[in-house]
Structure 1
Amino acid sequence: MPCTYLLLPLLLCLLFPLSSSESKVIIKGNQTILSFNSIFRLGFFSPTNGESFTSSQSSNWYVGIWYASIPTPTYVWVANRNRPLSDPHSSTLELTSTGNLIARNSHDGVVWQSDNNHPGTDFRFSDTGNLILIGDHGSPVWQSFENPTDTWLPGMNVTGLTAMTSWRTPFDPSPGLYSLRLSPSFNEFQLVFNGTTPYWSTGNWTGESFVGVPEMTVPYIYRFHFVNPYTPAASFWYIVTPSDASPEPRLTRFLVDYNGQLKQYTWEPQTNSWNMFWLQPEDPCRVHGLCGQLGFCSSKLLKPCACIRGFRPKIDAAWRSEDFSDGCLRESADSCDGRDTFEAVGDLRYDGDVEISRFQVSKSSCARSCLGNCSCVGFYHNDKSNLCKILLESPLNLKNSSSWTGITDDILYIRDPRKGNSKGNISKFVIILCSVVGSITVLGFVPLILLRRNRKRKKTRKEDEDGFAVLNLKVFSFKELQKATDGFSEKLGHGGFGAVFKGTLPESSTSVAVKRLERPGSGEGEFRAEVCTIGNIQHVNLVRLRGFCSENLHRLLVYDYMPNGSLSSYLSRTSPKLLSWESRFRIALGTAKGIAYLHEGCRDCIIHCDIKPENILLDGDYNAKVSDFGLAKLVGRDFSRVLATMRGTWGYVAPEWISGLPITTKADVYSFGMTLLELIGGRRNVIVDSDTPGEKEDKGEKESEKWFFPPWAAREIIQGNVDLVVDSRLNGEYNIEEATRMATVAIWCIQDNEEIRPAMGTVVKMLEGVVVVTVPPPPKLIQALVSGDSYQGVDHGLSGTSCSEGRGCSDLVTGLSSPGSRSSFGRPSSP
C-alpha cells in the first residue's frame, strides 16, 4: 500500500506534464533583478514616470531592461511593447515548463512570449544588458540582444534579419515608424520609414569605418568588425564591442529615436547626464514623413512640426505626445463647388511622391485647373517658366526648399475653402456703399499728403525697430552712435573689416563695442537681411549683436563690450597679463564650441574666415566669445582683398585658401589650430626679434631674425615633448593630460590635407576627452619647414614652390617675410 502512494504522484507527472501555472516565476510585481555588477536592471516599468513602481497612475506596464547604475531612467529593451500590462502588482515574468519566457497576469493573460525554437531550462542576465535563455547544454536558445527594440548596445550582433525600431512617442514603447537595418547589400546601415522607405544611410563599410559616419569608429566608444561566420552572404554580421584600449568602461548606446534620428550617447559621470556624441540626420526635417500629410517641418521650431495656416492637427492628443505622423487637416470642411481660393504657402518641398499633373500655363489657368478637379489639394506654379504642377494627393512633411536645394521659384498654393464666396453674389448695395465711403476717405487724405511726407522717415525707422525687436536688435541712428562713442574717440582695435570703438548707451549706461565697417559690400536691403541672420544667432561662446546702423553710407554694428579684451593681448611674452592654465583650457574649449555652432548648429553653415586671437574676446570671467562671425559675407565675401590688408592674418590661412581652392569649414579648423598653438605656448606664432644673435648689418640695413613657432612646436608635440611647448611662465602649473590633448588637437587641425582635419564638432569632443586623440602625422608643409627640404605642394596647387629654410614656405605660412629678413625654424634659445 505505501508503494502505491509513492508511485501515484510519479505516474500523474508522467501522464500529465506541468502546466504553465507551475512555471518558474522569475520576477513578480515590483521585484527586479540586477546584472552581476549592477549595471542593468530587469523588471516591470511604466514609461510615464520611469522610477517608482507604486506611484504611477499609468495603466500601461512593460517588462524591460534599463540602466540601474545611473539616476536617469533609460530603457534599452522592452518585451511586451505591443501589449502592455494593466495590473503590475499581479504581473509576472516566468520560465514555463515548455522552456519559454512569458509575461502575463490574471487580467490580461499572456501578453508576451519568447520565440525560441528549443526549450530553455535557465536564464542569465549579463552586465552587457543581455537577457539570455539557456538550453539543456548550456548554450543560448534565445537572447534579448537578438530581439532588440530601439537601442543598440555594445556587444550586440546585428544581422540582415535584425532591425531596431523606435518607440512611438517618448512615453509609448510600442513600435514606431522608424527602423535601423542592414541594407539589402549588407554593406551599410539604413534608417527606414515604415519598413519600406530608406531616408539615410551610414555609407559603405570601408574595412575601417563607414563613409558617411567616420565617428562610429572612435576608440573608447565603439569598434566595428565585419565578419562572415556563416555562408551565404546574407549571414554577414556587424559586431559592436567596446574598445579593448578603453581605460575604463564607458556606458554608451545607439538609439533609434522616436523622431527618426539615429543618436549615439555616452554617459558623463561628471555631469550626471547623457552626452549626445552625434546624431543623423542632423536636420530633423530630413526624416521621412516626420510631420505627416500637410504638416510643416522646421528645425527652428520648439517642436519640429506645425500646421500651416488654415489647418490643424488631425489628432490633437497624438501631437501633444509628439507623434505628428497623422499630419494636419483643414479647419473648415472641404468643398468642391469651384469657388475655393488658394493660399500661397511658399517655396516648399515634400517627402515621397504624390500624383501630379504637369503642364505649362499661367497661374490663373493653373488655379482653374485645380478647382475643376475635386481631388486637387493645391498646385505649384513657377512664374518664370509658367510650369504648373497639380497635386492630386496631400503632400507629406512640407519644408522650406531653400535650405535643401536652393530657391527654385516654385511656389506652393494650397486649396482654401474658407475664402470662397458661398453665396455667389455680392450685394450691389455693398458696392455702392464702399464707393461712397471710399470717395469721402480720399477727400480726407488730401490735407495729409504733406504731413505723410514729413513722417515717412520716422515711420520707416519705427517699422525697422518693430521688425528687429523680434530679434532683440535695436536700429540706431548714426548720431546716436556718434554720441555714444564720444565721436568715436576711444579706439579698442582695428581688424580687416573695420575699427572698433568703445561706447556707452545713454539710456542704460551699458558699455558696448561699436564696429564701423569700412568695406560694406552690399546695398542697404542686403545689409539689413544679413544683419538679421547674424542677430538671430545666439550662443554662449559668440559675441552678442545688440543692434546696428544703416544710414546713408554708414554701416555700424553694436556688440556687447568684452571687458578683458581680445586673446591677442595675452600672447606677448612682455605682457604683464598671464592667463592661468584653467583659463586657457576654458578659452580653447569655448572657442571651439562657438565655431562648431557656426558650422553645424545654424540653419545655414557660416564659415568665419578669420579665426585668430584678435577675434576671440574675453568677458569678465575670461570666457571666450568669438567675434566677427558672418562679417565676411556681410562685406561681400571679397576674401582676397580683405585678408590682404589684415596685418598678420596670413599666419592663420589654410594652404588651400592660398592656392585658390574653394573654401570649406576646414579653413576655420586650420586657423583654430594655429590659434591653439599660440594659446598653449603663450606666444605669437611669428616672432620678430631684433635682439637675436642673427641680427647684423647688411648693406646698411638690419636683418632681423624671424622665428616661426608652429614647425618647432609640431615636432616637439609629435615626439611627446609637450612640456617644452607649454608657456614656461606657468612654471609647470598646468594639467599635463589637458595640455597633451590640446597640443595634439592643434596639430590635427593644421594638417595640409583638409580632409584629414577633424570637423569642429569633433574637435570639441576631442578637447572634452570624449574622443581619444591619437598622434597625428606631421603636416607636410610644417615638416618641410623643419627639415629645410623642398616641398612640392601639388595637392594645393603649389606645384613648383620650393620650401627651403628662410624662403618660399615661410611666405606661404606667415605672409610676413620681407626681403630684409630671414626665418628661423629651430628650437628657441630662450622663452
Structure 2
Amino acid sequence: MPCTYLLLLFLFPLSACAKNNKAFIIIKGNQTILSSQSIFRLGFFTPSTNGSSSNWYLGIWYASSPNPVYVWVANRNRPVSDPDSSTTLQLTSTGYLILNTSRDGVVWRTENENPATGFRFSGSGNLILTGEYDSSPVWQSFQNPTDTWLPGMNVTRQTSFTSWRTPSDPSPGLYSLGLGPGFNEFQLLHNETTPYWSTGNWTGDSFVGVPEMTVPYIYTFSFLNPYTPAASFKYIVTPSSDSSPRLSRFVVDSNGQLKQWAWEPQGQFWNMFWLQPEDQCRVHALCGPLGFCSSKTLEPCACIRGFLPKNAAAWGSTDYSDGCRREYDGCDGRDAFEAVGDLRYDGVVETSRLEQASKSVCEKRCLGNCSCVGFYYNGKSNLCRILLESPMNIKNSSSWTGTTDDVLYIRDRIKNSSKRSVSRGVIILCGVVGSISVLGSTLFALLILLRRSKKTKREEGDGFAVSNLKVFSFKELHKATNGFSEKLGHGGFGAVFKGTLHDGTSTSVAVKRLERPGSGEGEFRAEVCTIGNIQHVNLVRLRGFCSENLHRLLVYDYMPNGSLSSYLSRTSPELLSWETRFRIALGTAKGIAYLHEGCRDCIIHCDIKPENILLDSDYNAKVSDFGLAKLVGRDFSRVLATMRGTWGYVAPEWISGLPITTKADVYSFGMTLLELIGGRRNVVSDTPGGEKDEKEPEKWFFPPWAAREIIQGNVDLVVDSRLNGEYNNEEATRMATVAIWCIQDNEEIRPAMGTVVKMLEGVVEVTVPPPPKLIQALVSGDSYIGVGNGLSGTSCSEGRGCSDLLTGLSSPTGSRSSFGGKIPPSP
C-alpha cells in the first residue's frame, strides 16, 4: 500500500484504538509517511553518505529535496540497527509515542504530561499528539526541536536548537541556539554555557546584528512579550506568486554557525541566505585545545608543527573539539619553544605572570613546570604570561580587533641529538644500498601511473564535475538550444541562447557560449567547479557546462523577466514599482557582497551593470556573469577592452593602471543604482529636454547632475518621474545617498559592499557624502587633477576627454559631447 495513503487510513480510527487500550502502530520497518501537502516525510533514515553506517534514526525530512535534508530526529542518543518489521513507531494504549525494537525494547518515547489519543503529521512538518477531544496538543515535535528552526515553530525560553555532532552524526553537538537572558535576542552557545554570537536586540521588525535575516516580502516575524520570561518568537513564510509554499529553514550547523536556507524550486537546490558568525574561527572552541583555526583554508582546523590531532578519527568527520596533542610526551626539562606568531585563543586560561622578565627567564620558568604548555612574551614591555593550560581554538590576531606585540611560544619536544645522528647514518647507508634496486622499479611504477592517469582523464568524462553540476555534451546543448537559434543577448564574454533541457523536466535554461575561453580543458573545468560551488539567492545559478574540443559553454538557470536594463528605458512598456526597485538594489548588493566577502576566494565581478542583473519570475535580482573574468584567463585583456566600452560604469582606477580591487565593483554598483533610481540610462543620446540634433545626437551624462541634486537634498528631482511620487521617501534618500558614496573618486572612501548592504537596510547611518570631484568637474567644466585616487597628474578639462576616465572610450574625432559642458537644471 502506498505510504502516501497510509496516513489517511489511521487518522480516524486512532482515537478509538487508544480508548480500547490497544497500541496503534504508525510505522513499521522501512515504511514512511507523508505530511499533508506532501512536503515532509517521516520514517527511519541513516545519515551516512556512503551507506556504511548501521545507525538508524527516526526523523523528518523534506520529501522534495533530491538529497535528504533532515529537520528533526527523535532518538538522537540511541540509534537502532537496520530497522526491520520488529522496529515500530507506535502510540501506546497509555497515550505515549514510542520507538520500539525487539532487541533493545523502547529506545525513545515522548514526555507528554497528559495521555494522547490522536496523532497528526502537519504540512508544516510538525509531529503532533492530541488529547481526547483533539484540542491543544499534548506533545509536538515543534516544542522538542533538534537543530532546525522551521516556519511556524514558536520559540520560547525553554526552546533550544542543538547542532548535530558531525554532518553524519545527529547526536547532540556542542553548539546551540536559544533566547538570551534578556529575552530580546538570540544567542549561539558552546556547551550551553558560553555565548559567542548574538543577533543583537529586537527592534520591532528585525534584529540589530542580523538585518539580512529578514526579507519583508517573504518572511513575517513576530516577537511577543520581549524582555520578559514569557517571550516567544516565530516566523512564517508567505506563499510564492503561484500560491505554492516557500520552503525555508534556520539550522545550527555542526560547525557552530547559524545558517538560513531557502529552497529554489526552479533550480531544485537549497540556497543559503546568510550565516553567522561569518568568520568560522569566531565559533567558540571550534578547533579544541591547541588546535589552530584558519578561515582561509578548506579545513578550518589544523595542528601546529610538532602536534597531532588528539582524535584523528573524529577530525576525519569534522569534529575537531578534542584538539591537538604534542607528538612527543614527557617532561624532562629539555624541551624547546617555537614562536607561532601573534595569536589569540578562546576562553580563559590559567596563567602565571612575570613582570620585567627576559625571554630566557620566561623559557626557564616554563621548563620548570610540567603543566606549562607555552607562554606569551612582549618584547617591548618585557612581560611574560606563562600558560598553565592548553589554549583553545588558537587563531590569528587578524581575526580580532586591535593590535598587540605579544608573541605566542609553544613548548615542543626536542629529539635526542645523538640518537638522531645515528639514525640519520643508518638511513643514509640504507639509502645508498637500497636506492640502486629501488630506482628502476620506481621509474617503472611512475610510467605505469602516468599512463593510467592519462587514460583516466580520457575516460572519466562526466565524473569530473562537482556534485551539483552536470557535464553536458555539445550535442545535448545544440539540441537544447535548437541549434543556438534563439539569442537572448551578447556580452563581452560571448552570446547567450535560450534552451530547453530534453531530460524529462523540460527545464528552461540560458546557455552562454564563450567566445574567448583562453584556457585548456583542465583549467576550464577547474575554474567551472569553483564557480559551480558558489551559491547565493542573488546570484544566477550555474547548472552545468560543456568542455568538448574547442567548445566552452556554460548552462545557467533561465531568468524569465530578463535583465534590469530592459526596464530602464523611458519607452519601456513595463514600469517597475518602487518596492521592486528597492528589492532589486538590495538583492544586487547582497549578491556582490557575497562574491567579495562570502566566498572562500574573493571574486571581483569587473562588469556590474544592468545588463548583468537578471530578474526571476518574482523580480528578484540575480547577478550574472560572476567569475567569468577568471574563466577567460590569458585573454582577459581583450575582455577588459570590451568592458571599457560600456559607458558610465567603469571606475577611474581602471584607466590609471592601478591594481583593481573590489572597490571597482562598488563604483559600478553606484552607477547602476543611479539608473535604477532615475529609471533611465546614465548616458543618453538626446538632450535632456528631448530635442534632437538632426545632424548628430548629443550624449548627456546623467550622474553629474544627479550627484549634485542628491547632495543638495533634492532627491525627488532624481527619482523616476513616472512613479508619480509613489515611493518611500526615506528609502529613496538612503538609496540615492549610498549611490554617491559608491561613486567617489578615491576608492578608499567608497564603502565595502557588505557595508553598502547595511547602509541600504538602514542599519548603518548614511551621512551626506562629499561631492565626487571628477564628476563635479564634468558638471562645471573646470580642470581637475586627481590626488590619491590613481589619477595623479591627469588633467580633466572641458577641452580634454573626461569621459575617457569614466568609460575608457575616446570620443570619436569630430563628435560633440556634453561631458564637459553645462548640465541643464532638470532632466
Per the alignment, residue 726 of structure 1 pairs with none
Per the alignment, residue 341 of structure 2 pairs with 346
Per the alignment, residue 48 of structure 1 pairs with 48
762, 768, 772: which one aligns with 1:795 = 768
Give, in whole Å, the separation in 2 of the partners of 1:42 and 1:345.
50
Per the alignment, residue 120 of structure 2 pairs with 124
Per the alignment, residue 202 of structure 2 pairs with 205
Contact 1:266 1:276 in 2 (8 A): yes
Give, in whole Å, the separation in 1 of the partners of 2:150 and 2:820.
63
| Shift in CA distance, 164/36, structure 1 to aligned 2, threshold 3 Å | same
Q: How does 1:377-416 map to 2 (within 5 A)?
A: 377-405=373-401, 407-416=403-412
Per the alignment, residue 88 of structure 1 pairs with 83
Give, in whole Å, the separation in 1 of the partners of 2:163 and 2:153.
17
In the TM superposition, what whole-angstrom CA distance separates every residue of 1:549-575 from its partner, at most 9, and x where no partner exists?
Answer: xxxxxxxxxxxxx9xxxxxxxx9xxxx
Offset, 1:402: 2.3
Contact 2:351 2:388 in 1 (8 A): yes
Contact 2:128 2:139 in 1 (8 A): yes
587, 596, 599: which one aligns with 1:598 = 596
Q: How does 1:187-206 map to 2 (within 5 A)?
A: 187-206=184-203
User: What amino acid does structure 2 have at the position aligned with 1:218?
Assistant: V
Residue 172 in structure 1 maps to residue 166 in structure 2: no
Per the alignment, residue 27 of structure 1 pairs with 27
Offset, 1:796: 3.6
Offset, 1:821: 3.1
| Shift in CA distance, 705/807, structure 1 to aligned 2, threshold 3 Å | farther
Contact 2:781 2:820 in 1 (8 A): no
Per the alignment, residue 104 of structure 2 pairs with 108
| Shift in CA distance, 693/59, structure 1 to aligned 2, threshold 3 Å | closer
User: What amino acid does structure 1 have at the position aligned with 2:414?
Assistant: R
Q: How does 1:284-303 map to 2 (within 5 A)?
A: 284-303=280-299
Q: How does 1:237-248 map to 2 (within 5 A)?
A: 237-243=232-238, 247-248=243-244
249, 260, 267: which one aligns with 1:253 = 249
Offset, 1:373: 1.1
Give, in whole Å, the separation in 2 of the partners of 1:181 and 1:340.
45
Give, in whole Å, the separation in 2 of the partners of 1:58 and 1:265.
27
678-687 vs 290-299, which deviates more? 678-687
Per the alignment, residue 547 of structure 2 pairs with none
Give, in whole Å, the separation in 2 of the partners of 1:163 and 1:592.
29
Offset, 1:242: 1.4
Per the alignment, residue 276 of structure 2 pairs with 280
| Shift in CA distance, 266/650, structure 1 to aligned 2, threshold 3 Å | closer
Per the alignment, residue 267 of structure 1 pairs with 263
| Shift in CA distance, 367/797, structure 1 to aligned 2, threshold 3 Å | same
Contact 1:708 1:825 in 2 (8 A): no
Secondary structure class of the residue paired with 2:363: helix
Give, in whole Å, the separation in 2 of the partners of 1:377 and 1:281.
29
Give, in whole Å, the separation in 2 of the partners of 1:182 and 1:668.
38
Per the alignment, residue 720 of structure 2 pairs with 715
| Shift in CA distance, 45/386, structure 1 to aligned 2, threshold 3 Å | same
Taking only the aligned residue pairs, the percentage that are identical comes to: 57
Q: How does 1:310-349 map to 2 (within 5 A)?
A: 310-335=306-331, 337-349=332-344
Secondary structure class of the residue paired with 2:822: strand
Aligned length: 566
User: What amino acid does structure 2 have at the position aligned with 1:394?
Assistant: S
Give, in whole Å, the separation in 1 of the partners of 2:684 and 2:726.
21
Which TM-score applies when normalising by structure 2? 0.59
Give, in whole Å, the separation in 2 of the partners of 1:349 and 1:762.
26
Q: How does 1:798-817 map to 2 (within 5 A)?
A: none
Offset, 1:182: 0.3
**CA RMSD, aligned part only?**
5.3
Give, in whole Å, the separation in 2 of the partners of 1:74 and 1:268.
14
| Shift in CA distance, 209/278, structure 1 to aligned 2, threshold 3 Å | same
User: What amino acid does structure 2 have at the position aligned with 1:279?
Assistant: L
Contact 1:82 1:174 in 2 (8 A): yes
| Shift in CA distance, 318/676, structure 1 to aligned 2, threshold 3 Å | same
In the TM superposition, what whole-angstrom CA distance separates every residue of 1:140-185 from its partner, at most 9, and x where no partner exists?
Answer: 1000000000000000000001100000011110000000010010
Per the alignment, residue 459 of structure 1 pairs with none
Give, in whole Å, the separation in 1 of the partners of 2:60 and 2:820.
73
Offset, 1:249: 1.6
196, 219, 222: which one aligns with 1:222 = 219
Offset, 1:94: 0.9
| Shift in CA distance, 206/589, structure 1 to aligned 2, threshold 3 Å | closer
| Shift in CA distance, 239/759, structure 1 to aligned 2, threshold 3 Å | farther
User: What amino acid does structure 2 have at the position aligned with 1:212?
Assistant: G
| Shift in CA distance, 286/119, structure 1 to aligned 2, threshold 3 Å | same
Secondary structure class of the residue paired with 2:38: coil
Offset, 1:259: 0.4
Give, in whole Å, the separation in 1 of the partners of 2:217 and 2:28.
37
Offset, 1:33: 1.2
Contact 1:673 1:747 in 2 (8 A): no
Larger-Rg structure: 1
Give, in whole Å, the separation in 2 of the partners of 1:692 and 1:321.
67
Give, in whole Å, the separation in 2 of the partners of 1:258 and 1:599.
22
31, 55, 63: which one aligns with 1:60 = 55
In the TM superposition, what whole-angstrom CA distance separates every residue of 1:675-733 from its partner, at most 9, and x where no partner exists?
Answer: 466699895447696998699xxxxxxxx8955268587414755999xxxxxxxxxxx
Long gaps (5+) in structure 2: 1-16, 426-515, 520-526, 533-551, 553-564, 566-583, 613-623, 631-643, 653-660, 707-716, 743-749, 787-796, 804-816
Give, in whole Å, the separation in 1 of the partners of 2:327 and 2:272.
39
Secondary structure class of the residue paired with 1:405: coil
Offset, 1:752: 5.9
Per the alignment, residue 521 of structure 1 pairs with none
Per the alignment, residue 77 of structure 1 pairs with 72
| Shift in CA distance, 795/107, structure 1 to aligned 2, threshold 3 Å | same
320-329 vs 298-307, which deviates more? 298-307
Contact 1:351 1:395 in 2 (8 A): yes
User: What amino acid does structure 2 have at the position aligned with 1:715?
Assistant: D
| Shift in CA distance, 511/142, structure 1 to aligned 2, threshold 3 Å | closer
| Shift in CA distance, 763/92, structure 1 to aligned 2, threshold 3 Å | farther
389-398 vs 402-411, which deviates more? 402-411
Give, in whole Å, the separation in 2 of the partners of 1:130 and 1:300.
39
User: What amino acid does structure 1 have at the position aligned with 2:60?
Assistant: I
Offset, 1:137: 2.2
Give, in whole Å, the separation in 2 of the partners of 1:386 and 1:161.
49
Secondary structure class of the residue paired with 1:418: coil
Long gaps (5+) in structure 1: 1-16, 51-55, 431-508, 513-535, 542-561, 563-570, 572-585, 617-621, 629-645, 655-663, 696-703, 723-742, 766-772, 781-792
Give, in whole Å, the separation in 2 of the partners of 1:219 and 1:345.
47
342, 346, 356: which one aligns with 2:351 = 356
Give, in whole Å, the separation in 2 of the partners of 1:320 and 1:194.
22
User: What amino acid does structure 2 have at the position aligned with 1:100?
Assistant: Y
Secondary structure class of the residue paired with 1:157: coil
Contact 2:18 2:95 in 1 (8 A): no
Give, in whole Å, the separation in 2 of the partners of 1:61 and 1:107.
14
